[in-house]
Amino acid sequence: MNISLSLKSLLDSISTKPLNESDLEKYLEEFTLKLVENDVAYELARSTASSVVKALSKIRVSRFGSDLRELVIKTAKEHLLSNIATCDIDYMNLVASSLSEKIPFVQMFIGVNGTGKTTSIAKIALILKKANLRPLMVCADTFRAGAVEQLKLHAEKVGVSYFEKGYGRDPASVAFDALELSRRDGYQAVLIDTAGRFHTRRGLMEELSKIKRVSSPDHTTLVVDAMAGNDSWEQAKTFMELIGYDSIILTKFDADVKGGAALSVSYISKKPIIFIGTGQGYGDIRKFDIRAYVEELFARL
Ligand SMILES: Nc1nc2c(ncn2[C@@H]2O[C@H](COP(=O)(O)OP(=O)(O)O)[C@@H](O)[C@H]2O)c(=O)[nH]1
Ligand SMILES: [Mg+2]
Protein backbone atom coordinates (compact mmCIF):
# COMPACT_ATOMS: atom_id res chain seq x y z
CA MET A 1 0.00 0.00 0.00
CA ASN A 2 1.42 3.44 -0.82
CA ILE A 3 2.14 6.13 1.70
CA SER A 4 -0.96 8.17 1.01
CA LEU A 5 -3.36 5.24 1.25
CA SER A 6 -1.87 3.83 4.43
CA LEU A 7 -1.85 7.18 6.20
CA LYS A 8 -5.42 7.71 5.12
CA SER A 9 -6.53 4.41 6.64
CA LEU A 10 -4.72 5.26 9.84
CA LEU A 11 -6.29 8.71 9.99
CA ASP A 12 -9.72 7.23 9.31
CA SER A 13 -9.37 4.94 12.29
CA ILE A 14 -8.15 7.57 14.75
CA SER A 15 -10.47 10.36 13.79
CA THR A 16 -13.59 8.29 14.32
CA LYS A 17 -13.05 7.60 18.00
CA PRO A 18 -12.15 9.73 21.03
CA LEU A 19 -8.51 9.49 22.13
CA ASN A 20 -6.93 9.31 25.56
CA GLU A 21 -3.28 9.48 26.66
CA SER A 22 -2.51 5.82 26.07
CA ASP A 23 -4.11 6.00 22.64
CA LEU A 24 -1.64 8.73 21.82
CA GLU A 25 1.30 6.43 22.53
CA LYS A 26 -0.19 3.70 20.41
CA TYR A 27 -0.87 6.27 17.75
CA LEU A 28 2.74 7.45 17.78
CA GLU A 29 3.90 3.88 17.17
CA GLU A 30 1.39 3.29 14.41
CA PHE A 31 2.15 6.54 12.67
CA THR A 32 5.87 5.79 12.74
CA LEU A 33 5.34 2.28 11.41
CA LYS A 34 3.09 3.44 8.58
CA LEU A 35 5.73 5.89 7.45
CA VAL A 36 8.52 3.31 7.73
CA GLU A 37 6.45 0.72 5.85
CA ASN A 38 6.30 3.23 3.06
CA ASP A 39 10.06 3.68 2.87
CA VAL A 40 10.37 6.80 5.00
CA ALA A 41 13.65 6.65 6.94
CA TYR A 42 13.07 5.60 10.55
CA GLU A 43 14.52 8.76 12.11
CA LEU A 44 12.35 10.99 9.98
CA ALA A 45 9.27 8.82 10.56
CA ARG A 46 9.79 8.82 14.30
CA SER A 47 10.35 12.55 14.59
CA THR A 48 7.36 13.29 12.36
CA ALA A 49 5.13 11.06 14.46
CA SER A 50 6.46 12.68 17.65
CA SER A 51 5.67 16.13 16.42
CA VAL A 52 2.16 15.03 15.55
CA VAL A 53 1.62 13.51 18.98
CA LYS A 54 3.04 16.59 20.67
CA ALA A 55 0.58 18.75 18.78
CA LEU A 56 -2.27 16.43 19.70
CA SER A 57 -1.33 16.35 23.39
CA LYS A 58 -1.60 20.11 23.52
CA ILE A 59 -5.25 20.17 22.69
CA ARG A 60 -7.76 18.77 25.16
CA VAL A 61 -8.87 15.25 24.45
CA SER A 62 -12.52 16.21 24.72
CA ARG A 63 -12.08 18.68 21.94
CA PHE A 64 -10.85 16.06 19.51
CA GLY A 65 -13.26 16.04 16.72
CA SER A 66 -13.36 17.00 13.12
CA ASP A 67 -10.32 19.27 13.59
CA LEU A 68 -8.17 16.34 14.59
CA ARG A 69 -7.59 15.17 11.09
CA GLU A 70 -6.56 18.59 9.90
CA LEU A 71 -4.22 19.08 12.82
CA VAL A 72 -2.46 15.76 12.15
CA ILE A 73 -2.07 16.53 8.48
CA LYS A 74 -0.85 20.06 9.06
CA THR A 75 1.66 19.07 11.73
CA ALA A 76 3.10 16.12 9.82
CA LYS A 77 3.37 18.15 6.63
CA GLU A 78 5.15 21.03 8.33
CA HIS A 79 7.52 18.70 10.10
CA LEU A 80 8.44 16.86 6.92
CA LEU A 81 8.96 20.06 4.96
CA SER A 82 11.22 21.55 7.59
CA ASN A 83 13.41 18.44 7.74
CA ILE A 84 13.98 17.64 4.09
CA ALA A 85 15.90 19.49 1.42
CA THR A 86 13.41 21.70 -0.36
CA CYS A 87 15.77 23.85 -2.36
CA ASP A 88 14.99 23.76 -6.01
CA ILE A 89 17.61 23.37 -8.73
CA ASP A 90 16.64 23.91 -12.31
CA TYR A 91 18.99 21.66 -14.24
CA MET A 92 19.29 23.75 -17.38
CA ASN A 93 19.96 26.88 -15.30
CA LEU A 94 22.66 25.00 -13.47
CA VAL A 95 24.30 23.92 -16.73
CA ALA A 96 23.98 27.39 -18.27
CA SER A 97 25.49 29.13 -15.27
CA SER A 98 28.38 26.66 -15.14
CA LEU A 99 29.00 27.09 -18.88
CA SER A 100 29.13 30.85 -18.48
CA GLU A 101 32.25 30.32 -16.36
CA LYS A 102 33.95 27.37 -17.97
CA ILE A 103 33.53 24.80 -20.71
CA PRO A 104 32.80 21.91 -20.50
CA PHE A 105 30.25 21.38 -17.76
CA VAL A 106 31.37 18.15 -16.07
CA GLN A 107 28.84 15.98 -14.28
CA MET A 108 29.69 12.74 -12.53
CA PHE A 109 27.03 10.12 -11.81
CA ILE A 110 27.37 7.70 -8.95
CA GLY A 111 25.13 4.99 -7.54
CA VAL A 112 24.65 1.27 -7.11
CA ASN A 113 24.43 -1.03 -10.15
CA GLY A 114 20.97 -1.39 -11.58
CA THR A 115 19.59 1.84 -10.17
CA GLY A 116 19.41 3.39 -13.62
CA LYS A 117 22.61 5.42 -13.92
CA THR A 118 23.39 4.73 -17.56
CA THR A 119 19.76 5.14 -18.64
CA SER A 120 19.48 8.43 -16.73
CA ILE A 121 22.68 9.73 -18.32
CA ALA A 122 21.22 8.98 -21.75
CA LYS A 123 17.99 10.78 -20.79
CA ILE A 124 19.99 13.82 -19.67
CA ALA A 125 22.18 13.69 -22.76
CA LEU A 126 18.99 13.91 -24.79
CA ILE A 127 17.78 16.92 -22.79
CA LEU A 128 21.11 18.65 -23.43
CA LYS A 129 21.06 17.73 -27.10
CA LYS A 130 17.57 19.20 -27.43
CA ALA A 131 18.91 22.39 -25.85
CA ASN A 132 21.43 22.53 -28.70
CA LEU A 133 24.39 21.53 -26.59
CA ARG A 134 26.92 18.83 -27.43
CA PRO A 135 27.11 16.28 -24.62
CA LEU A 136 29.65 13.47 -24.35
CA MET A 137 28.73 10.28 -22.49
CA VAL A 138 31.78 8.76 -20.83
CA CYS A 139 32.14 5.19 -19.63
CA ALA A 140 34.32 5.21 -16.53
CA ASP A 141 33.29 1.70 -15.56
CA THR A 142 36.06 -0.37 -17.07
CA PHE A 143 35.36 -3.55 -15.14
CA ARG A 144 31.77 -4.76 -15.26
CA ALA A 145 31.10 -6.91 -18.32
CA GLY A 146 28.74 -5.12 -20.68
CA ALA A 147 29.18 -1.66 -19.14
CA VAL A 148 30.88 -0.24 -22.23
CA GLU A 149 28.45 -1.78 -24.71
CA GLN A 150 25.46 -0.57 -22.71
CA LEU A 151 26.62 3.02 -22.61
CA LYS A 152 27.48 2.90 -26.30
CA LEU A 153 24.06 1.51 -27.21
CA HIS A 154 22.23 4.19 -25.21
CA ALA A 155 24.40 6.94 -26.73
CA GLU A 156 23.73 5.68 -30.25
CA LYS A 157 20.01 5.45 -29.60
CA VAL A 158 19.75 9.05 -28.39
CA GLY A 159 22.21 10.18 -31.04
CA VAL A 160 24.96 11.67 -28.89
CA SER A 161 28.71 11.05 -28.76
CA TYR A 162 30.34 8.70 -26.31
CA PHE A 163 33.82 8.00 -25.04
CA GLU A 164 35.15 4.61 -23.95
CA LYS A 165 38.49 2.91 -23.64
CA GLY A 166 37.27 -0.64 -23.26
CA TYR A 167 37.98 -2.72 -20.19
CA GLY A 168 40.85 -2.91 -17.75
CA ARG A 169 42.03 0.71 -17.82
CA ASP A 170 42.05 2.89 -14.73
CA PRO A 171 38.58 4.55 -14.77
CA ALA A 172 40.06 7.86 -13.58
CA SER A 173 42.42 7.94 -16.55
CA VAL A 174 39.50 7.32 -18.89
CA ALA A 175 37.69 10.30 -17.35
CA PHE A 176 40.85 12.37 -17.72
CA ASP A 177 41.21 11.47 -21.41
CA ALA A 178 37.54 12.22 -21.99
CA LEU A 179 37.99 15.70 -20.57
CA GLU A 180 40.96 16.31 -22.81
CA LEU A 181 39.03 15.19 -25.84
CA SER A 182 36.03 17.32 -24.89
CA ARG A 183 38.17 20.44 -24.62
CA ARG A 184 39.78 19.69 -27.95
CA ASP A 185 36.56 18.82 -29.77
CA GLY A 186 34.29 21.37 -28.16
CA TYR A 187 31.90 19.21 -26.18
CA GLN A 188 29.98 21.36 -23.74
CA ALA A 189 28.82 18.75 -21.28
CA VAL A 190 30.74 15.69 -20.12
CA LEU A 191 28.58 13.08 -18.40
CA ILE A 192 30.69 10.53 -16.54
CA ASP A 193 29.17 7.12 -15.88
CA THR A 194 30.80 5.13 -13.09
CA ALA A 195 30.81 1.65 -11.59
CA GLY A 196 28.36 0.67 -8.86
CA ARG A 197 29.44 -2.65 -7.40
CA PHE A 198 28.31 -1.86 -3.88
CA HIS A 199 29.44 -5.19 -2.44
CA THR A 200 33.10 -4.24 -2.82
CA ARG A 201 32.36 -0.95 -1.15
CA ARG A 202 35.89 -0.01 -0.14
CA GLY A 203 37.47 -0.51 -3.57
CA LEU A 204 34.52 1.20 -5.26
CA MET A 205 34.68 4.26 -3.05
CA GLU A 206 38.42 4.63 -3.66
CA GLU A 207 37.84 4.32 -7.39
CA LEU A 208 35.06 6.93 -7.35
CA SER A 209 37.08 9.33 -5.21
CA LYS A 210 39.92 9.11 -7.68
CA ILE A 211 37.64 9.81 -10.64
CA LYS A 212 36.24 12.78 -8.74
CA ARG A 213 39.70 14.10 -7.93
CA VAL A 214 40.93 13.76 -11.48
CA SER A 215 37.87 15.15 -13.25
CA SER A 216 36.81 17.70 -10.57
CA PRO A 217 33.16 17.63 -11.66
CA ASP A 218 31.06 20.80 -11.52
CA HIS A 219 28.20 18.69 -10.30
CA THR A 220 27.89 15.17 -8.88
CA THR A 221 24.60 13.32 -8.94
CA LEU A 222 23.59 10.23 -7.01
CA VAL A 223 21.18 7.92 -8.82
CA VAL A 224 18.82 6.04 -6.50
CA ASP A 225 16.05 3.56 -7.27
CA ALA A 226 12.75 4.62 -5.66
CA MET A 227 11.77 0.96 -5.40
CA ALA A 228 14.81 0.15 -3.27
CA GLY A 229 12.93 1.05 -0.10
CA ASN A 230 15.14 1.23 2.94
CA ASP A 231 18.20 0.64 0.81
CA SER A 232 17.70 4.05 -0.77
CA TRP A 233 18.32 5.60 2.62
CA GLU A 234 21.45 3.52 3.15
CA GLN A 235 22.79 4.39 -0.29
CA ALA A 236 22.12 8.12 0.07
CA LYS A 237 23.92 8.07 3.42
CA THR A 238 26.93 5.97 2.40
CA PHE A 239 27.64 7.82 -0.84
CA MET A 240 27.30 11.14 0.99
CA GLU A 241 29.79 10.12 3.66
CA LEU A 242 32.31 8.59 1.32
CA ILE A 243 32.10 10.59 -1.92
CA GLY A 244 29.65 13.46 -1.56
CA TYR A 245 27.17 14.65 -4.17
CA ASP A 246 25.14 17.74 -5.06
CA SER A 247 21.86 16.29 -6.24
CA ILE A 248 19.82 13.13 -6.63
CA ILE A 249 17.96 11.45 -9.45
CA LEU A 250 15.26 9.13 -8.19
CA THR A 251 14.50 6.47 -10.80
CA LYS A 252 11.63 4.03 -11.34
CA PHE A 253 9.11 6.48 -9.94
CA ASP A 254 6.72 5.17 -12.56
CA ALA A 255 6.37 1.76 -11.02
CA ASP A 256 4.19 1.10 -8.01
CA VAL A 257 6.36 3.05 -5.57
CA LYS A 258 5.32 3.52 -1.97
CA GLY A 259 6.54 7.09 -2.08
CA GLY A 260 8.62 7.46 1.05
CA ALA A 261 12.01 7.05 -0.65
CA ALA A 262 11.80 10.61 -1.99
CA LEU A 263 11.39 11.91 1.56
CA SER A 264 14.10 9.64 2.97
CA VAL A 265 16.83 10.54 0.53
CA SER A 266 16.01 14.26 0.79
CA TYR A 267 16.14 14.04 4.55
CA ILE A 268 19.40 12.10 4.80
CA SER A 269 21.32 14.01 2.17
CA LYS A 270 19.73 17.47 2.41
CA LYS A 271 20.25 17.58 -1.35
CA PRO A 272 17.59 18.26 -3.97
CA ILE A 273 16.07 15.63 -6.25
CA ILE A 274 16.75 17.21 -9.63
CA PHE A 275 14.87 14.63 -11.67
CA ILE A 276 12.72 11.57 -11.32
CA GLY A 277 12.81 8.71 -13.82
CA THR A 278 9.34 7.65 -14.86
CA GLY A 279 10.01 4.81 -17.28
CA GLN A 280 12.49 3.09 -19.52
CA GLY A 281 12.09 5.44 -22.47
CA TYR A 282 14.55 8.28 -23.01
CA GLY A 283 11.84 10.88 -22.57
CA ASP A 284 10.73 9.38 -19.27
CA ILE A 285 12.33 11.94 -17.00
CA ARG A 286 10.68 14.79 -15.13
CA LYS A 287 11.56 17.66 -12.88
CA PHE A 288 10.62 17.02 -9.31
CA ASP A 289 9.18 19.53 -6.88
CA ILE A 290 9.34 17.97 -3.44
CA ARG A 291 7.18 20.67 -1.86
CA ALA A 292 4.43 19.99 -4.34
CA TYR A 293 4.93 16.27 -3.78
CA VAL A 294 4.44 16.59 0.00
CA GLU A 295 1.41 18.84 -0.51
CA GLU A 296 -0.07 16.32 -2.91
CA LEU A 297 0.65 13.44 -0.58
CA PHE A 298 -1.34 15.07 2.19
CA ALA A 299 -4.02 16.51 -0.05
CA ARG A 300 -5.10 12.97 -0.82
CA LEU A 301 -5.60 12.04 2.85
N1 LIG B 1 10.64 1.60 -15.04
C2 LIG B 1 11.80 2.24 -15.03
N3 LIG B 1 12.92 1.57 -15.34
C4 LIG B 1 14.08 2.25 -15.34
C5 LIG B 1 14.16 3.63 -15.01
N6 LIG B 1 15.46 3.99 -15.09
C7 LIG B 1 16.15 2.89 -15.45
N8 LIG B 1 15.33 1.83 -15.59
C9 LIG B 1 15.68 0.44 -15.94
O10 LIG B 1 16.51 -0.10 -14.92
C11 LIG B 1 17.41 -1.04 -15.47
C12 LIG B 1 18.84 -0.69 -15.05
O13 LIG B 1 19.20 0.54 -15.65
P14 LIG B 1 20.69 0.94 -15.95
O15 LIG B 1 20.67 2.31 -16.51
O16 LIG B 1 21.38 -0.10 -16.76
O17 LIG B 1 21.30 0.94 -14.47
P18 LIG B 1 22.82 1.17 -13.99
O19 LIG B 1 23.36 -0.19 -13.68
O20 LIG B 1 22.71 2.01 -12.77
O21 LIG B 1 23.53 1.85 -15.09
C22 LIG B 1 17.21 -0.98 -16.98
O23 LIG B 1 16.37 -2.07 -17.35
C24 LIG B 1 16.49 0.34 -17.20
O25 LIG B 1 15.68 0.35 -18.34
C26 LIG B 1 12.94 4.32 -14.68
O27 LIG B 1 12.89 5.52 -14.36
N28 LIG B 1 11.79 3.57 -14.72
MG1 LIG C 1 25.28 1.24 -16.05
Q: Which of 9-23, 190-204, 231-245 has the lowest mean pLDDT?
A: 9-23
Task: For domain 3-83, give the fold.
Answer: Four Helix Bundle (Hemerythrin (Met), subunit A) (1.20.120)
Q: What are the residue ranges of CATH 3.40.50.300 in the chain? A: 91-288
Q: Is the pLDDT of residue 150 over 90?
A: yes
In angstroms, rounded to a whole number, what is the distance separating the alpha carbons of residues 148 and 45? 40
Q: Is the pLDDT of residue 63 over 60?
A: no
Nearest ligand, CA of residue 110? 1
pLDDT at 259: 83
Task: Give residue 118 CA to ligand 2 midpoint distance, Å.
Answer: 4
Percentage of residues in the chain having pLDDT higher than 90: 66
Instruction: Give residue 1's pLDDT band: very low, low, confident or very high (50, 70, 90).
Output: confident
pLDDT at 60: 54
DSSP H helices, the chain, are 3-14, 21-37, 42-58, 66-83, 91-99, 117-130, 147-158, 171-185, 201-215, 230-242, 260-269, 290-299
Task: Give residue 116 CA to ligand 1 midpoint distance, Å.
Answer: 4
pLDDT at 131: 98
CATH architecture of the domain with residue range 91-288: 3-Layer(aba) Sandwich (3.40)
Please provide the average confidence, as pLDDT, over all residues in the chain: 90
pLDDT at 59: 65
Query: Mean pLDDT over residues 214-225, rounded?
Result: 97
Nearest ligand, CA of residue 139? 2
Of the two residues 28 and 112, the one the predictor is more confident about is: 112
Query: DSSP secondary structure string, 79-144?
Result: HHHHHS------HHHHHHHHHTTSSSEEEEEE--TTSSHHHHHHHHHHHHHHTT--EEEEEE--SS
